[in-house]
Each structure stands twice: as C-alpha cells, then as structure tokens.
Amino acid sequence: MDPVPMLLAMTYRAMGDQFHDRLKQIGLEPLRPAHGYVFRFLKEKRATTVDIGQHLGVTKQAAAKIVNELDEWGYVLREPHPTDKRAQYVTLTTKGRDYLKFADSLWSDLENEMAEAIGADNLDTIKQSLAAYLQHVYGEDQPGLRPVW
C-alpha cells in the first residue's frame, strides 16, 4: 500500500478531476485549480496581483495571467490601489462569490459520494484525524489553503 502522503495526493487529484469534469459538463469557463486557489484567497479579502502570486508561489506575470482570465470571465474586479499607482486591488464580484458558493456545493456533493464509497463513519474519522494532525503540526496558526505545485 502507498504511503499516506501519496494516498492523500492521489485522492485530492481524483476529487479534483471529478470536480473539473463536472464544471466542463455544465459549460462553465475552463477554470483550472489555480483559479480555485485565487477564489479561496480572495474569499475574505482583496489582494494585489503580487499578493496573489506570492500566495500561489508563481511569478507576478503568471498571477497576472490568472487575474486577467478571471477578470475577462467576470469573476473578479480590479480597483485602484489607494497608495500605489502601479498596483490594483483584486476582489471577487458577485459572480465570483456565487461561483464560490456553487463550488462549495459541488465539493459537498463529491464528499457525499466519497462517504457512499467508504462509509460515512470512515469519512468522519478521516476528517477528524486530519484536523487533529493539522492541529498537532500547526496549532492554532494553521496556514490557509495553498497549492503544492
């Protein structure tokens, strides 16, 4: 049997593949995992493209490309930065917030399907155990969701 980190990575990949397959089925824009990390990052705040790039672990140019796509599709809005004329703040639009709610619902559906496959009690145990491990490693200062390119 594979080590736990490999199983977790493969499970995340399997669920992500199912998530994106369903997005394609309903005809949404060609959103990629990097877009999802930006949605999550902007959920509670606004940020500059530099902030987004640092969060994603990518160059400013790569982050700008992602922001441009999300802007073209209407998911984010750019606003002037109050003190830096070269920078802009990026925030989620109503469409972006609605998408995030939709994505949460879709992830919930996938989690329910996992519960059907492995048993609800097993899934609850996994969730509690993973939360306990994160608490053990990070304590109360747990990092936010970040990509692991």
Indicate if the pLDDT at residue 133 is higher than 80.
yes
Q: Which of 79, 78, 56, 83 is nearest to 67 (CA)?
A: 78
Positive or negative: CA dihedral 42, 69, 28, 114: negative
Average pLDDT of the chain is 94
Q: Which CATH class is domain 4-138?
A: mainly alpha
What is the pLDDT at residue 149? 66
Q: Name the H helices within 33-75.
A: 33-42, 49-56, 60-72
Looking at the chain, the number of H-run helices and the number of E-run strands are 6, 3
Mean pLDDT of 31-49: 94
Question: What is the pTM (predicted TM-score) of this model?
Answer: 0.86
Q: Encoding tokens for residue 27? A: 């005809």
Indicate if the pLDDT at residue 140 is higher than 70.
yes
d(CA 15, CA 101): 17
The 10s digit of each residue's pLDDT in 42-100 is 999 999 999 999 999 999 999 999 999 999 999 999 999 889 888 899 999 999 999 99
Domain ranges of the chain: 4-138
